[in-house]
């Protein structure tokens, strides 16, 4: 059943790219579809040329230093933001006074558009990787924080009272009750955080950098090279999927106690 699902997913992807290819080649469609047949290729790019750009990047080695910088920024923002979000979420989830005290400030910072902080981070940290990491951390932190905070608050009062009656210490409650309750929420947030870490890195590179995939996209946009823009987007998407898959693998290893939904999905097919 899983192979059947993969087959239909591959067919869907192939259908999208086939439609894209046909729609951007005037000779393959009736002339009445477009007023200007070449406009579609100018605005939407051509899949074959986009793939060729990616192949040329790897064949020439041009992409490696840029990709390495972007992946560094993404990984650092992802790890630092997740650790900070986990720590602060546990702290405020377990401390009612600290939670009440920090609540309006957390909401105010979360409501702030973090992208506008990018110029400030560039002044503070320069045009190197750390200004991009700082922006990515602000995007990842709140996603993980709110999920961990909610996970701690969702602990069953029955389980908590029973553990307390059995003499569990505060450290044991944290290890055996609160953390397991928050773990599933944490991994749920990490899947979203992967994309946000990439967003922080690329937006920072786009606003000011001399290296990175975001820098390549920015330079291509300046010269109206839509195929290179889409090539950069596609490359970032592929690596975001790889990082998301790594999170899924860690989730399966750490949450072995959680009932698997794979069997239900296979039966549904």
pLDDT in tens, 170-197: 777 777 777 777 777 777 778 778 888 8
Please indicate, yes or no, whether residues 38 and 55 belong to a single structural domain of this protein. Answer: no
Residues 40 and 52 in one domain: no
Q: Alpha carbon of 91 to those of 94, 96, 156, 173, 195: distances in Å?
A: 5, 9, 18, 14, 26
Q: What is the mean pLDDT of residues 61-69?
A: 87
* Cβ–Cβ under 8 Å, residues 209 and 219: no
**Residue 257 pLDDT more than 60?**
no
Q: pLDDT tens-digit profile of 140-176?
A: 888 888 888 877 776 767 776 777 776 777 777 777 7
Q: Cβ contacts of residue 18 below 8 Å, gap of 6+?
A: none
Question: Model confidence at 262, in pLDDT bands (50, 70, 90)?
Answer: very low
| Structure-token pair, residue 234 | 């596609």
CATH of residue 139's domain is 1.10.3720.10
Give the contacts of 12 (CB within 8 A, at least 6 positions apart).
none
- Same domain, residue pair 38 and 155: no
Residue 82's nearest CA partner among 184, 244, 185, 193 is: 193
Stronger pLDDT, 26 or 204, i.e. the higher one: 204
Say if residue 18 is in the same domain as residue 137: no
Verify that 92 and 137 share a domain, yes or no. Answer: yes
* Range in 23-32, 65-74, 155-164, 169-178 with the lowest mean pLDDT: 23-32
**What sections of the chain are H helices per DSSP?**
2-23, 39-44, 47-60, 63-94, 96-111, 118-125, 129-153, 157-165, 170-173, 179-207, 213-222, 226-254, 262-268
Answer yes or no: is pLDDT of 267 > 50.
Answer: no
Residues 72, 34 within the same domain: no
Evaluate if residue 29 carries a pLDDT over 70.
no
Domain termination site, one of 26, 44, 62:
44
Asked if 184 and 211 sit in the same domain, the reply is yes
> Is 55 found in the same domain as 169?
yes
Distance from C-alpha of 17 to C-alpha of 211, rounded to nearest angstrom: 29
Of the candidates 147, 136, 164, 165, the residue with the CA atom closest to the CA atom of residue 92: 147
Domain containing 1 equals 1-44
Asked whether residue 26 falls in the same domain as residue 112, the answer is: no
Average of per-residue pLDDT across 72-99: 86
Query: Is the pLDDT reported for residue 82 higher than 80?
Result: yes
Cβ pair 156, 213 in contact under 8 A: no
Q: Domains in the chain: how many in total?
A: 2
Query: In terms of domains, do 104 and 214 share one?
Result: yes
Q: pTM here?
A: 0.75
Out of 22-36, 128-142, 180-194, give the one with best mean pLDDT.
128-142
Question: Which pLDDT value is given to residue 36?
Answer: 58
Q: Give yes or no: residues 51 and 32 share one domain.
A: no
Are 9 and 64 in the same domain?
A: no
């Amino acid at each position: 059943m899983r192979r059947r699902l993969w087959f239909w997913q591959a067919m869907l992807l192939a259908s999208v790219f086939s439609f894209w290819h046909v729609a951007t080649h005037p000779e393959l469609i009736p002339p009445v579809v477009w007023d200007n047949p070449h406009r579609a290729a100018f605005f939407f790019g051509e899949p074959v040329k986009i793939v060729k750009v990616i192949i040329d990047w790897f064949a020439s080695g041009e992409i490696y230093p840029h990709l390495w910088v972007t992946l560094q920024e993404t990984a650092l923002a992802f790890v630092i933001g997740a650790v900070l979000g986990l720590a602060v979420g546990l702290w405020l989830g377990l401390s009612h006074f600290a939670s009440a005290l920090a609540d309006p400030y957390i909401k105010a910072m979360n409501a702030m558009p973090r992208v506008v902080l990018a110029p400030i981070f560039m002044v503070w940290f320069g045009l190197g990787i750390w200004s991009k990491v700082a922006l990515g951390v602000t995007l990842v932190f709140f996603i993980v924080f709110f999920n961990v905070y909610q996970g701690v608050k969702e602990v069953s009062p029955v389980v908590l009272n029973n553990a307390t009656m059995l003499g569990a210490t505060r450290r044991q409650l944290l290890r055996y009750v609160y953390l397991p309750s928050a773990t599933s929420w944490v991994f749920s947030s990490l899947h979203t955080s992967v994309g946000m870490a990439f967003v922080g890195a690329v937006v920072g590179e786009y606003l000011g950098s001399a290296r990175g995939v975001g820098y390549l996209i920015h330079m291509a946009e300046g010269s109206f090279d839509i195929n290179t823009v889409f090539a950069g987007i596609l490359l970032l998407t592929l690596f975001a999927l790889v990082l998301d898959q790594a999170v899924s693998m860690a989730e399966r290893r750490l949450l072995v106690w959680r009932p698997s939904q794979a069997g239900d999905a296979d039966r549904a097919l």
